[in-house]
């Protein structure tokens, strides 16, 4: 074999090996389970180390189970608990839910990590995958449709656009001119919402992804017939629909979880406990915890609320006085109905709250919100006074 031929073969083999070694894969970064319970009180923060090499276009996927019909997810900034983008502040969930990283989100993730929150589901595991793991085919590019504030405008999408749509794919709605409060609504050919996850879902940025998690929406599309028959009606408010694509996963899955973050061991609440864990109330006043009315239905004025916590050592250095307050779960007023909120200074000892008739009625009907600054909440328990 001549030198030139050997050189060409070597270069070809080297190129193939480099391509294989660089092939995009979906890798696990968090192993659960982690229960995200009621009332937006639970979350878990994906550590910043997972995003050291992340880039815009990469995708975070949350796999979960035990989701209730009204379950919602959220991707939040751990420093202020706001959505990392408007469309990720809250959204309905049914199957795995995802977030596409942008440059702004990557910056947050590298500095602080990303919090996954919401209510009424359990996280099984979380993955990150490269944008190259997904392949998009544009299936509709008609005249751009501007959605009006009165929800009166819709785009009619023909059935032929979805001839190759399969379970597990995503329908990507490319949008522009998104305004504050923009929402999307996707209906079938009968004008009924095709899936609850696209019934007024918030949108922002350049695209919104609707994931096909089962056969139900596919059957509704098929019932429309084929060809130019209208299969979907895309409506909403505060954005312009420019085009629609179908996105399919074409990457591989990395089964190695040796570097994955582990969720804390699940804790079973003991009788009387209504919170157990660690919930930070930062020095910027961004922390709060909502407790539903359910645990208080059998309470009497003879019961007390015991609140345990750890004072943040950095609070004093920052000139912050650690304190907490209990508010009406609906109005944010002082739980006793007083005109001004009552603040309990935190000196390291548990806070013991005695119910009166007004406060007891408030928690039985609306629950309460615990807010404050400069501490980490560890436990809330209802104790009988005797």
What CATH architecture applies to the domain 133-249?
A: Sandwich (2.60)
Residue 126 Cα distances to 26, 66, 121, angstroms? 10, 16, 14
In the chain, count of helices (H) and strands (E)? 5, 27
284's tokens: 């910027």
The radius of gyration of the chain from alpha carbons, rounded to an integer in Å, stands at: 25
pLDDT range class, residue 278, cuts 50, 70, 90 = confident
- The pLDDT tens digits of the residues spanning 353-386 come to 999 999 999 999 999 999 999 999 999 999 985 4
* 218 vs 94: which has the higher pLDDT: 218
Peptide bond into 33 cis (omega under 30): yes
85's tokens: 């983008």
With H, G, I as helix, E, B as strand and everything else as coil, classify residue 313: helix
pLDDT of residue 268: 82
- The pLDDT tens digits of the residues spanning 87-141 come to 899 988 888 899 999 999 999 999 999 999 999 999 999 999 998 888 999 999 9
With H, G, I as helix, E, B as strand and everything else as coil, classify residue 196: helix
pLDDT of residue 80: 85
pLDDT of residue 3: 53
What is the Cα–Cα distance from 228 to 187, expressed in whole angstroms? Answer: 16
CB 184 within 8 A of CB 203: yes
What is the Cα–Cα distance from 183 to 181, expressed in whole angstroms? Answer: 6
105's tokens: 């989100």
Query: Full-prediction pTM beyond 0.75?
Result: no
Would you state the torsion angle of the CA atoms of residues 96, 102, 106, 112, taken in this order, to the nearest 10 degrees? -70
Highest mean pLDDT among 144-153, 255-264, 272-281, 328-337: 144-153
CB 366 within 8 A of CB 289: no
pLDDT at 43 over 80: yes
What is the Cα–Cα distance from 153 to 265, expressed in whole angstroms? Answer: 49
pLDDT of residue 2: 56
pLDDT of residue 4: 54
* Count of residues making up the chain: 386
Domain map of the chain by residue range? 12-129+253-262, 133-249, 273-384
With H, G, I as helix, E, B as strand and everything else as coil, classify residue 85: coil
Beta strands in 38-162 (DSSP E): 44-46, 59-65, 72-76, 91-92, 97-100, 114-119, 121-129, 134-140, 145-146, 154-158
List phi, psi (to 5°) of 196: -65, -20
């Amino acid at each position: 074999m001549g030198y030139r031929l050997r050189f060409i073969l070597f270069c070809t083999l080297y190129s193939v090996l480099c391509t294989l070694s660089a092939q995009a894969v979906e890798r696990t970064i968090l192993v659960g389970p982690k229960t995200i319970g009621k009332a937006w009180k639970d979350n878990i923060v994906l550590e910043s180390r997972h995003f050291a090499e992340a880039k815009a276009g990469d995708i975070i996927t949350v796999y979960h189970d035990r989701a209730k019909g009204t379950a919602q997810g959220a991707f939040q900034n751990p420093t202020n608990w706001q959505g990392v983008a408007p469309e990720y502040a809250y959204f309905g969930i049914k199957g795995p839910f995802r977030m596409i990283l942008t440059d702004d989100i990557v910056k947050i993730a590298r500095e602080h990590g990303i919090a996954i929150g919401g209510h009424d589901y359990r996280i099984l595991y979380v993955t990150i995958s490269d944008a190259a793991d997904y392949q998009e085919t544009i299936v509709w590019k008609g005249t751009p449709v501007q959605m009006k504030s009165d929800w009166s405008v819709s785009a009619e999408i023909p059935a032929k656009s979805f001839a190759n749509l399969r379970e597990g794919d995503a329908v990507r709605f490319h949008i522009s001119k998104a305004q504050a409060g923009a929402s999307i609504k996707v209906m079938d050919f009968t004008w009924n919402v095709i899936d609850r996850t696209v019934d007024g879902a918030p949108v922002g940025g350049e695209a919104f992804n609707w994931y096909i998690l089962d056969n139900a929406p596919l059957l509704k599309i098929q019932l429309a017939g084929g060809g130019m028959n209208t299969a979907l009606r895309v409506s909403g408010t505060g954005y312009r629909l420019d085009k629609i694509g179908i996105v399919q996963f074409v990457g591989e899955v990395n089964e190695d979880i040796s570097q994955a973050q582990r969720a804390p061991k699940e804790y079973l609440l003991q009788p009387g406990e209504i919170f157990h864990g660690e919930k930070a109330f930062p020095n910027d006043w961004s922390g709060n915890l909502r407790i539903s009315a359910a645990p208080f239905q059998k309470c009497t004025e003879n019961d007390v609320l015991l609140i345990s916590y750890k004072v943040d050592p950095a609070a004093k250095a920052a000139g912050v006085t650690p304190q907490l307050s209990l508010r009406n779960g609906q109005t944010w007023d002082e739980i006793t109905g007083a005109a001004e909120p009552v603040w309990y200074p935190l000196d390291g000892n548990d806070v013991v709250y005695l119910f009166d008739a007004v406060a007891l009625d408030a928690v039985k009907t609306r629950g309460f919100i615990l807010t404050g600054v400069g501490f980490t909440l560890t436990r809330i328990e209802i104790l009988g006074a005797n």
